[in-house]
Amino acid sequence: MISFKRLSPQMPIAFWGLVLAYVAVAINTTVASVALPPISKALVVNSEQLTWIVNCTPLAASAFMLFGGHWASQYGFRRILVIGLSILTVSAVGASMVVDVNTLIAFRTFSGFGSALVMPSALVLAYQVVDESRRRTAIGLVTAAQAIGGLLGPLLAGYLITTVSWRAALLSVAPLLLVSILIVYSEIPKRAGPKGEKRTFDQIGAALTALFGTSSLLFMVNLTNASANQFIFFSSIGIAVLSLITLVVHEARCSNPLFQFKQLRKRTFLVPTGINWIVQLVYGGMIFLNMQYLQLVVGLSAFTAALLVVAATFVWILCSSFSGVLSKRIGSYRLAMLGLLTASLGYGLIGFAGVTPNPIVLTLGFILSGSAGIEPAVMVHGVLASYDEDQRSFGASLNAMVMRYGLSTGIALSGVVLSGNLSRMMSETLSRLGESAKLNATGSIGGAFRVADSLPFNERNTLIEAAKVAFVDGYREFYILAIVLYMLAFFVLLMQSKGGRRLTSTIGRQLSIHSPFRR
């Protein structure tokens, strides 16, 4: 192992540069959602474009994640990491200077490409630069860095939007990126990273995977407005199905396929990867829904709403940071199951809080929801440990791709649930309005509030209350779905644990003994 300079006996300086890179990526992902209101006032933009401003970054990151891992193993982890960080810096500067929304979406998409280069390389290098005894803690700190960035992003963006402008908010990540580049370039050797990765990369398989993921999300985004966008809707379905079939056929015939079916069948890969996807899906929906609920439905100020998010994120960070130590004491499966149960309880308290929630119950719900931070740390370590060292960069990139697709899917799915509820539950209230007003009011709760501002006082209050009720109904449906998914993950972990396998075996023997078909 290469010896690295250390700020403390535990972690080298290089590791903290990699953590800073993860923080910067997370901040870059979250600032756009906070900046949407002022962007919509400054630029000519419609509701679909606003959605893509938020979702294009994680979507582009997902599409290129596998390529990022391959290029890192072929051309050097440090080199690809520095290139990715540089792309993110240029994208942040460019996004802060745009004069139209399409250029902004282009820069945000470009930043997603940079994230795809950064995340696999940074994760593998973080695994390599620390002593083997500290790797669980290192992975926990890296995943906690994402939560820290997710916390700092909205707070930093909100402050800069209030005091300077939305352009300053989009630019805010650039200084962090420059510091990370400096540390990585000066502290990590040029050839750092796992050795011996000579596996031929299946570029066709990676491209088909990206095409399938992108078209599937495009289909989901247009699900509630299929009649207005029939060409995009049906084209995305066709492309998704065709790319999936082609991918399966190609992988079956390829001499060196992208997806090693032997690896995919391993419980040590399949279970952690699936649970990571579920956790990220729920997290994506929370990013999209929670601030709208707290500010527009409950009526909290931006600062008070941020405090609740801070509480949840702080618990997430603590759980993620200490997951390595706790998993050694009580076991990874038990710890992960405890995290799923606790987070599900929190989701129930949040989802069923209603239009006028009890402040104590709502706060407790957000605090408990942070226990989901256990899952990524424990599951990422399980995924990386399931790979041989010479395949670890591919494992890291595949895991990062799954997490990004999960995040994008959560944003899209929560939007579909919310839009469907607004359209269905507000139809009677909007019956007297014109088509343009109906589209604006059912596109988002913010759109409903804007339409209400143009109505007489009584009609205004009626529309606002109807929008709140419809939003809360969709909000509750999303959290019910989150609880169902978490319970499914809990059941899978229970069956995979030693106690679960013994229980399954005992039940199987009892059924066999008492079976009427037993001879």
What confidence tens digit (pLDDT) does each residue in 299-315 have?
Answer: 877 677 777 877 888 88
Which pLDDT band holds residue 386 (cuts at 50, 70, 90)?
Answer: low
In our burial notation (b when 16+ CB lie closer than 10 A, e otherwise), range 118-136 reads bbbbbbbbbbbbbeeebbb
C-alpha distance from residue 489 to each of 174, 230, 276, 315 (Å): 38, 35, 10, 21
Position 492 pLDDT exceeds 90: no
Residue 357 in 3-state DSSP?
coil
Q: Which residues pair with 6 in a beta bridge?
A: 12
Q: Is the Cβ–Cβ distance between 478 and 289 less than 8 Å?
A: yes
- Residue (of 30, 167, 162) closest to 99 by Cα position: 167
Inside any domain, residue 52 = yes
Q: Which of 91, 80, 93 is nearest to 184 (CA)?
A: 80
Q: Given a cut of 70, is residue 408 above it in pLDDT? A: yes
The 10 Å CB-count burial string (b at 16+, else e) for 234-248 is eebbebbeebbeebe
- Confidence (pLDDT) at 171: 92
Q: Are 212 and 240 in contact (CB under 8 A)?
A: yes
Is residue 323 one of the residues assigned to a domain? Answer: no
Per-residue pLDDT tens over the stretch 421-463: 777 777 777 767 776 677 666 666 776 777 777 788 777 888 8
Average per-residue pLDDT in the chain? Answer: 78
Residue given tokens 């582009």 in the structure block: 60
Question: Under the phi-then-psi rule, with left for phi > 0, alpha for psi from -120 to 50, and beta for the rest, what region is 152?
Answer: alpha
**Is 193 a domain residue?**
yes
In a domain, 227, yes or no: no
CATH of the domain at 40: 1.20.1250.20
Is the separation of the CB atoms in 222 and 268 below 8 Å? no
The residue ranking higher by pLDDT, 338 or 397, is: 338
Between 389 and 129, name the one with better pLDDT.
129
- Which one has a higher pLDDT value, 289 or 7? 289
Query: 367: pLDDT confidence band, cut at 50, 70 and 90?
Result: very high
Helix (H, G, I), strand (E, B) or coil at 12: strand
Residue among 339, 412, 336 nearest 381 (CA): 336
Tens digit of pLDDT for each residue in 7-20?
444 667 777 888 88
pLDDT for residue 3 is more than 70: no
**pLDDT tens sequence across 266-284:** 666 777 888 888 998 998 8
Q: How confident is the model at residue 94 (pLDDT cuts 50, 70, 90)?
A: very high
The H-assigned helical ranges of 222-266 are 230-253, 261-264
**Under 8 Å between Cβ of 30 and 153:** yes
pLDDT at 91 over 90: yes
Question: Cβ–Cβ contacts within 10 Å for residue 304, how many?
Answer: 13
> Rounded to an integer, what distance in angstroms lies between the CA atom of residue 174 and that of residue 85?
9
Residue at token pair 């992988």? 251
Look at residues 53, 131, 133, 66 and name the one whose alpha carbon lies nearest to residue 95. 53
Is residue 479 exposed (0-12), middle (13-18) or buried (19+ Cβ within 10 Å)? buried
Q: Judge whether residue 502 has pLDDT over 70.
A: no
Q: Give the CA-trace dihedral at 135, 138, 140, 142, to 10 degrees.
A: -140
Higher pLDDT, 16 or 488: 488
Report residue 74's pLDDT band, with 50, 70 and 90 as the boundaries.
confident
Tokens of 35: 């900046």
Tokens found for residue 444: 């988002």
Contact yes or no for 282/414 (Cβ under 8 A): no
The answer, yes or no, to whether residue 148 has pLDDT greater than 90, is: no
Does 511 map to a domain?
no
SS3 2: coil
What's the pLDDT score for residue 519? 39
What is the reported pLDDT for 481?
A: 94
pLDDT-based confidence at residue 177 (cuts at 50, 70, 90) = very high
Angle, vertex CA 16, rays to CA 13 and CA 18, nearest 5: 115
Dihedral in degrees, nearest 10, Cα atoms 163, 164, 169, 171: -140
Rg (CA), the chain: 23
With a cut of 80, say whether residue 198 has pLDDT above it: no
Assess contact for 98 and 418: CB atoms under 8 A: no
What total of structural domains would you count in the chain? 1
- Give 292-348 pLDDT, tens digit per residue: 788 778 887 767 777 787 788 888 888 887 877 787 788 877 888 899 999 999 999
348 located within any domain:
no
Residue 68 lies in a domain: yes
**Considering the entire predicted model, what is its pTM?**
0.73
Burial of 260 (0-12, 13-18, 19+ CB in 10 A): middle
Grade residue 41 by pLDDT with cuts at 50, 70 and 90: low
Per-residue pLDDT at 217: 72
Q: How far is CA 202 from CA 67, 70, 198, 259, 477, in A?
A: 9, 9, 12, 9, 40
| 91 occurs within a structural domain | yes
Evaluate if residue 110 carries a pLDDT over 70. yes
Q: What is the pLDDT of residue 506?
A: 43
User: What residues make up the domain containing 75?
Assistant: 1-198
* pLDDT, tens digit (0-9, with 9 covering 90-100), for 225-248: 655 567 777 888 888 889 889 988
pLDDT (0 to 100) of residue 498 = 60
Residue 364's pLDDT is what? 95
CA distance 122 to 61: 14
